[in-house]
């Protein structure tokens, strides 16, 4: 046998074997755009995946800086998990283009669009910039509803299973455990907020229609005059008038929103400002994961509404 060919065959065999060995033990490299998807990916993937989250949980997810280092993370990714409802459209496309990673192209198993298959709320009939920064596919903050989180977890599990078939039973088992835990918690959360059905709250930005629908509260008055447009004195005056007239005493503010504006409104209405977040890690006490996040939101809101009710009852 020709020695040269034998040598080449040996090198190829060693490369193939080392490749197989690596693929059988290597963790799936997962990149999530926001920490809610990242938290669920860790629940499902646990020790079988390495998860990187691009947006900080404390920053505005509409305006993440497309840093060059993110391109490197995406270039190495096996899976990209995003909302798929245009929340990340201002910064994700150039990063994906720059990564030149075929594994995370649209339509590939490595690209997970969590909103796919969901009926999003507030889909605009017409697109018009005079309405502010609205999204053509509907309100993109769908993960504040735990039922939608189950849907996202399902999609993430499907992607993990498709790319790592050897462990698909493990992923499915973890998905079932996550869903079971979430179902149990959902019953408790709904019970906790049951006494406050129909209660109206103020939010800084229109991030909470899914949360409001699921838990029966009304969050339809905002400090922003239009989505993405900073509060104006004239608009805040209208909000204050409405709050006084309807006795609305809760204002929801997220970590990246202007607390001073909310405190000004609070000072004129006597309302309580609640620190809310859509993302695990955005507020202290939510670092544990998605279920801990909703736990925090429901507990914080229920406590504030109970205090408000108690104060009303003890009014002379």
Residues near other proteins, by CB under 8 A: 56, 58-60, 62-63, 65-69, 86, 89-91, 93-94, 129, 132-133, 228-230, 255-258
Q: How far is the CB of 67 from other proteins (least distance, A)?
A: 5
Please list, in sequence order, all residues whose beta carbon lies within 8 angstroms of the beta carbon of residue 40, skipping any fewer than 6 positions away. Answer: 149, 152, 153, 156, 178, 289, 290
The Cα–Cα gap between 207 and 60 comes to 11
Locate 181 and state its tokens.
């835990």
Any bridge partners for residue 252, and if so which?
203, 274
Please list, in sequence order, all residues whose beta carbon lies within 8 angstroms of the beta carbon of residue 123, skipping any fewer than 6 positions away. Answer: 136, 137, 138
Q: Are strands 250-253 and 200-203 parallel, antiparallel or unpaired?
A: parallel
Nearer to other proteins, 88 or 164 (CB): 88
Nearer to other proteins, 67 or 307 (CB): 67
Nearer to other proteins, 25 or 129 (CB): 129
Q: How far is the CB of 65 from other proteins (least distance, A)?
A: 6
The Cα–Cα gap between 75 and 86 comes to 21
Q: Are 77 and 95 in contact (CB under 8 A)?
A: no
Nearer to other proteins, 68 or 107 (CB): 68
Any bridge partners for residue 219, and if so which?
201
Nearer to other proteins, 90 or 109 (CB): 90
Please list, in sequence order, all residues whose beta carbon lies within 8 angstroms of the beta carbon of residue 60, skipping any fewer than 6 positions away. Answer: 256
Task: State whether the Cα torsion 292-120-150-186 is positive or negative.
Answer: positive
Nearer to other proteins, 192 or 277 (CB): 277
Q: How far is the CB of 69 from other proteins (least distance, A)?
A: 5
Chain center to CA of 189? 19
Residue in this structure with the two tokens 């929340």, named with its chain if needed: 87
Nearer to other proteins, 93 or 195 (CB): 93
Q: How far is the CB of 107 from other proteins (least distance, A)?
A: 20
Q: How far is the CB of 105 from other proteins (least distance, A)?
A: 17
Nearer to other proteins, 239 or 291 (CB): 239
Element (H, E) at 201: strand 200-203
Q: Are 230 and 257 in contact (CB under 8 A)?
A: no
Q: How far is the CB of 231 from other proteins (least distance, A)?
A: 10
Q: How far is the CB of 202 from other proteins (least distance, A)?
A: 17
Q: How far is the CB of 297 from other proteins (least distance, A)?
A: 18
CA 24-27-31 angle, 5° bins: 145
């Amino acid at each position: 046998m020709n020695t040269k060919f034998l040598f080449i065959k040996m090198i190829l065999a060693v490369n193939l074997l080392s490749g197989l060995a690596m693929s059988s033990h290597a963790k799936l490299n997962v990149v999530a755009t926001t920490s809610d998807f990242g938290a669920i990916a860790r629940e499902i993937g646990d020790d079988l995946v390495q998860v990187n989250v691009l947006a900080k949980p404390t920053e505005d997810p509409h305006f993440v800086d497309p840093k060059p280092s993110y391109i490197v993370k995406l270039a190495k990714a096996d899976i990209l998990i995003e909302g798929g409802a245009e929340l990340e459209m201002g910064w994700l496309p150039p990063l994906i283009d720059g990564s030149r990673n075929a594994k995370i192209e649209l339509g590939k198993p490595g690209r997970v669009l969590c909103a796919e298959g969901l009926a999003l709320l507030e889909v605009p009939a017409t697109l018009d910039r005079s309405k502010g920064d609205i999204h053509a596919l509907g309100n993109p903050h769908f993960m504040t509803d735990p039922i939608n989180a189950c849907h996202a977890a399902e999609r993430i599990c499907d992607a993990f299973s498709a790319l790592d078939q050897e462990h698909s039973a493990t992923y499915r088992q973890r998905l079932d455990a996550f869903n079971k835990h979430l179902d149990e918690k959902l019953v408790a959360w709904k019970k906790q907020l049951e006494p406050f059905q129909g209660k109206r709250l103020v939010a800084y930005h229109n991030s909470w229609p899914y949360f409001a629908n699921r838990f029966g509260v009304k969050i339809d008055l905002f400090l922003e005059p239009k989505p993405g447009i900073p509060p104006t004195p004239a608009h805040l005056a209208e909000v204050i008038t409405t709050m006084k007239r309807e006795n609305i005493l809760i204002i929801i503010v997220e970590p990246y929103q202007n607390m001073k504006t909310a405190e000004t409104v609070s000072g004129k209405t006597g309302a309580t400002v609640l620190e809310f977040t859509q993302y695990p890690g955005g507020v202290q006490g939510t670092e544990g994961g998605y279920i801990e996040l909703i736990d925090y939101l429901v507990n914080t809101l229920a406590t504030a509404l109970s205090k408000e009710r108690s104060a009303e009852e003890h009014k002379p």
